[in-house]
Amino acid sequence: MLSETETLSPVLPNALEEATRRLLAKACERELVLATAESCTGGMLASLLTDVQGVAHAFDRGFVTYSEEAKTEMLGVPAALIAARGAVSKEVAVAMAEGALSRSRANIALAITGFADTGEEPGLVHFACARNGRITAHREAHFGPVGRGATRIAALEVAVGMMTEML
């Protein structure tokens, strides 16, 4: 039996914790490894995926690429793409996910980039999920001006759902 998450537990909805445990258990059963590339969530997804004891081997690494330079240097996202489309865009999210996949041992990589509480549209978040041999999935969410914490928690819920679908 997998234990509860420990680090983020006090602020996470129970359904998110349960979904995370199911995701990690399925990844382990299928011998798949996960990676993350995060901007507006600042590593919260990686933290969540490493908080569940007994399934750490399902997670390879997380890239926290908050700045445009980090996206370029760590994930190989072309600076010209960021300049043309903006750091918060479908194209950059896809490039982040594919970059994380190619720069890790993972079979599945999830990227998150968005405006947590400020920017052009507060609550706008782009997600991309890449898996070897499959088309990279994209999702755009409009959480609205609900605040930084609420946007980040909502983003975690979408991210865990996308990774589960990609299994």
Q: Which among 112, 117, 114, 113 has a CA at the least distance from the CA of 148? A: 117
Question: How, if at all, do strands 124-131 and 137-142 pair?
Answer: antiparallel
Select the more confidently predicted residue: 6 or 128: 128
What letter represents residue 98's amino acid? E
- At residue 8, does pLDDT exceed 80? no
- Going along the chain from its start, the domains and CATH numbers come out as 9-166 (3.90.950.20)
pLDDT for residue 1: 41
Q: Do the Cβ atoms of 114 and 40 come closer than 8 Å?
A: yes
The span from the CA of 58 to the CA of 74, in Å, is 21
**Each residue of 33-75: pLDDT tens digit?**
999 999 999 999 999 999 888 887 899 999 999 999 999 999 9
pLDDT band of residue 2 (cuts 50, 70, 90) is very low
- At residue 144, does pLDDT exceed 70? yes
The span from the CA of 97 to the CA of 111, in Å, is 5
Q: What is the dihedral of CA 132, 65, 104, 106, to 10 degrees?
A: -50
pLDDT for residue 50: 93
**Each residue of 84-103: pLDDT tens digit?**
999 999 999 999 999 999 99
Mean pLDDT over each residue of the chain, to the nearest integer: 93
pLDDT for residue 4: 53
pLDDT for residue 6: 56
- At residue 3, does pLDDT exceed 60? no
